[in-house]
Structure 1
Amino acid sequence: MDAWWVNARLELIAGNQAGVFSRRQALASGFSADQIVRHLRDGRWKTIRRGQYAENVDLAAMEPWDRVRWDHRQQVHAVMNSLRSGSIAVSHQSALMLHGLPIWGLELSRVHVTRLDGGSGGIVVGVQHHLGKLTEDELAVVDGRLVTSVPRAVVESACTASSFEVAVVSADAALREYRLSDEALARQLEQAQFWPGSTTARAAVRFGSRLSESVGESRLRVLLHDHGLPEPVPQVEFHDRDGFVGRVDFHFPAYDVVLEFDGTSQRRSAKRWPARIRLPDPQPSVRRETVARRSSSRGYLLDTWVLRPCTSREPTTRRDIPSRRAVSRGRSCLGGRACGPGRSWRTSRCRRRP
């Protein structure tokens, strides 16, 4: 049998399974048992789980959070290859990942599935088996795998999320990317009424907004909410007599203040953050970046804050968060060794101008 054809056939199978293939699929593609052992021994292939393999690829160029996502995706396909087809559905955060939604802060050390065959739940060989009744409307097929629907996966993962903030990130993304209706989420919340963690799920869905355009913006909304700051108006456009001026992430009309989340610098500083299961999206830090844009049609001055990732430490106390008075006056700490650009949140005591 032609070796090129064998490799091409297995590559086609693996390409539909995030690079994962089973021992049975390798044998069916023409590889012998000795060849499989040899490829594993010389490092061409690696073992994902028992009887499930993938080509050993260098992922050093990928961002840490992308590597975490890729590794979990491979684990999901390996698990689905190992279990009887139709007996389980990928669920919770594993389903969110297959649907292409952010999984920031969610626990990814295990693959999450829901049993459809009436089997028992629990943790088995790194797989969390959940019990629950799923209707046809609550199931979908993604990458050839049976998964729970987006509304179901959002509520499931919110119930098991470690915090309200983590649940809001997923809810915002689902509302934005899949245009979920309030009725669809309300039906899922009604079914999850007595689930552990359902209180967090209800609060996150109520707080969710399809106008948050990134993980950072969702987390910023929660940060403002947690510290009693005024609720901003998201995605506001400004115009003058000449037309469109710009669009801002958040606007506080009562204080003539706008907030911007800067996600590009988060990528630039990614090497300072170790890869871990909780995705390395650091706490934001505030730097006063430009003031002095006057909209001639509105006739007032807009103070602009650009949020950048923290490169020193994360805020630990309320004193590290700008106060309501600081927001209302547009005054935040603007410099100094302890509170300069790229540092953590600081108080509004310092009046130094950039």
Structure 2
Amino acid sequence: MESAPAALILSTRRRVLTGSSRDLSRAYAKGNLIRVRAGAYYSKPAWLALKAWDRYTVTVAAVAAVDPSVRFCFLTALRIWRLPLPSVPEHVHILTSSRHKAGRLASTTRAARDAKTGLTGLESTRGYGLFRHHWEVDTVEAHGFAVTSLAQTVVDCAVRMELPAAVAVVDEVLGRRCKVGPGLSRAELQQASARLGSAAKLRRLMDILALADEASESVGESRSRALIHVLGLPAPVLQHSFRDSEGFIGRTDFFWPEFGVIGEFDGDAKYLEDEQLGGRSTREAILAEKKREDRLRALGYKVVRWDWKAVTNPELLRQKLAAAGITTRKSPSYGRIPLALPGD
């Protein structure tokens, strides 16, 4: 996240440059600007063209610009640390030192109403309010923002997220996928859990740490593995290498040797992002993957594939794995994944 997107217009900055910010109020009244926060404006056409994540990013930047003392936490801090989130948060999460100020505040993103239609143009876009958390915790600077530390952010979020999302976050900071420095150890996360003050949350964190695996190579793999656990299915071997008479075939996402089944998560990035394509075209990547799968099948293994749709639908994933012969060993619990409220 950038600390100050170029298109964010601050009334304080305008007054310093020109001596007045009345032109912003006039542009707002004419419908040319939207007010993200009091004193922070954005081009209305540009705002409407933004994707939801980008609108959230601009809102976070606006909150920080209007109040330089603000400290971010929970899901907003997770976003600032550039760790995976399953969806755009409903609020910008900040810390407050006053217990009486804790709680939700509605979005302040506003636009002037059209004199003819009475509409603002923001009816189909979501604004983001504030969620103040009264948590006694230190903060650090990350990417231009004051946020809870990496370890504290991961712990605070993991114990309040659904299991697949929590495992994906912990896998990210434990493993080589971590893009925010050297990553963290399990011991560091356990130390950060001291502030939780809840036996239930501590047990939750221990369960997540027990399930986390540094070998997972993508968010989709992490979420898949968590769902496999929740479904009561046997744990697969991760990143197992296969060879045949021609030599090395590759490493697979999941492998159940007792069932002779290989599982592969197919995210869009594998066939669309330059980093994943490694200089190949999408067509070449698909062809190479087909040849790789043919070689695996020739060794006598079944290969089952799934994508993001199955990762968000436990029953669909269960059906795909059952069709390949992966049987349930205990009662599935996907209807009972514990989920704590973010405001506690």
TM-score by length of 2: 0.69
Q: Read off the aligned partner of 1:245 and give its amino acid letter.
A: I
Larger RCO (alpha carbons 8 Å, 6+ apart):
2
Q: Please report how far the alpha carbon of residue 264 of structure 1 lies from its aligned counterpart in structure 2 after TM superposition.
A: 1.4
CA distance in 2, matches of 1:230, 1:74: 43
Partner of 1:134: 137
Structure 1 residue aligned with 2:65, among 49, 65, 81? 81
RMSD, aligned α-carbons? 3.6
Q: Note the 1:10-25 alignment, pairs <5 A.
A: 16-18=3-5, 19-25=7-13
Q: Please report how far the alpha carbon of residue 306 of structure 1 lies from its aligned counterpart in structure 2 after TM superposition.
A: 1.7
Partner of 2:148: 148
**Helix, strand or coil at the partner of 1:103:** coil
CA distance in 2, matches of 1:325, 1:258: 9
Structure 1 residue aligned with 2:52, among 68, 86, 90? 68
Structure 1 residue aligned with 2:24, among 36, 45, 48? 36
Q: Does 2:173 match 1:174?
A: yes
Q: Does 2:303 match 1:304?
A: yes
Q: Note the 1:187-336 alignment, pairs <5 A.
A: 187-194=191-198, 197-240=201-244, 242-264=246-268, 292-294=294-296, 300-310=299-309, 314=313, 320=319, 322-323=321-322, 326-327=325-326
**Helix, strand or coil at the partner of 1:301:** coil
Q: Read off the aligned partner of 1:173 and give its amino acid letter.
A: E
Compare the two structures and name the one with the higher helix fraction: 2
Structure 2 residue aligned with 1:115, among 96, 101, 105? 96
CA distance in 2, matches of 1:99, 1:114: 16
Give the direction of change, closer, same or farther, for the CA distance of 1:38–1:293 in structure 2 (3 Å limit). Answer: same
CA distance in 2, matches of 1:97, 1:308: 24
Q: Please report how far the alpha carbon of residue 24 of structure 1 lies from its aligned counterpart in structure 2 after TM superposition.
A: 1.0
Give the direction of change, closer, same or farther, for the CA distance of 1:15–1:21 in structure 2 (3 Å limit). Answer: farther
Q: Please report how far the alpha carbon of residue 261 of structure 1 lies from its aligned counterpart in structure 2 after TM superposition.
A: 0.8
- Contact 1:167–1:200 (CA under 8 A) maintained in structure 2: no
Q: Please report how far the alpha carbon of residue 58 of structure 1 lies from its aligned counterpart in structure 2 after TM superposition.
A: 4.6
Q: Please report how far the alpha carbon of residue 212 of structure 1 lies from its aligned counterpart in structure 2 after TM superposition.
A: 2.1
- Contact 1:91–1:112 (CA under 8 A) maintained in structure 2: yes
Gaps spanning 5+ residues in structure 1: where?
Answer: 1-13, 269-287, 329-354
**Helix, strand or coil at the partner of 2:205:** helix
Q: Read off the aligned partner of 1:305 and give its amino acid letter.
A: V
Partner of 2:124: none
Gaps spanning 5+ residues in structure 2: where?
Answer: 107-128, 273-289, 328-344
CA distance in 2, matches of 1:97, 1:217: 20
Q: Please report how far the alpha carbon of residue 240 of structure 1 lies from its aligned counterpart in structure 2 after TM superposition.
A: 3.9
Give the direction of change, closer, same or farther, for the CA distance of 1:72–1:267 in structure 2 (3 Å limit). Answer: farther
Structure 2 residue aligned with 1:93, among 51, 72, 75? 75
The superposition leaves residues 302-338 of structure 1 with CA deviations (integer Å, 9 ceiling, x where unpaired) of: 2221213449x9565998464397227xxxxxxxxxx
Give the direction of change, closer, same or farther, for the CA distance of 1:41–1:214 in structure 2 (3 Å limit). Answer: farther
The superposition leaves residues 97-146 of structure 1 with CA deviations (integer Å, 9 ceiling, x where unpaired) of: 011111115x71111112357874222442111122224xxx32123211
Structure 1 stretch displaced more, 91-100 or 196-205: 196-205
- Contact 1:17–1:143 (CA under 8 A) maintained in structure 2: no
**Helix, strand or coil at the partner of 2:214:** coil
CA distance in 2, matches of 1:111, 1:186: 26
CA distance in 2, matches of 1:215, 1:191: 27
TM-score by length of 1: 0.67
The superposition leaves residues 258-283 of structure 1 with CA deviations (integer Å, 9 ceiling, x where unpaired) of: 11111118999xxxxxxxxxxxxxxx
How many correspondences in the alignment? 281
CA distance in 2, matches of 1:262, 1:61: 29
- Contact 1:90–1:147 (CA under 8 A) maintained in structure 2: yes
- Contact 1:293–1:301 (CA under 8 A) maintained in structure 2: no
Percent identity over the alignment is 24
- Contact 1:94–1:112 (CA under 8 A) maintained in structure 2: yes
- Contact 1:293–1:302 (CA under 8 A) maintained in structure 2: no
CA distance in 2, matches of 1:60, 1:215: 29
CA distance in 2, matches of 1:121, 1:300: 60
**Helix, strand or coil at the partner of 1:170:** helix
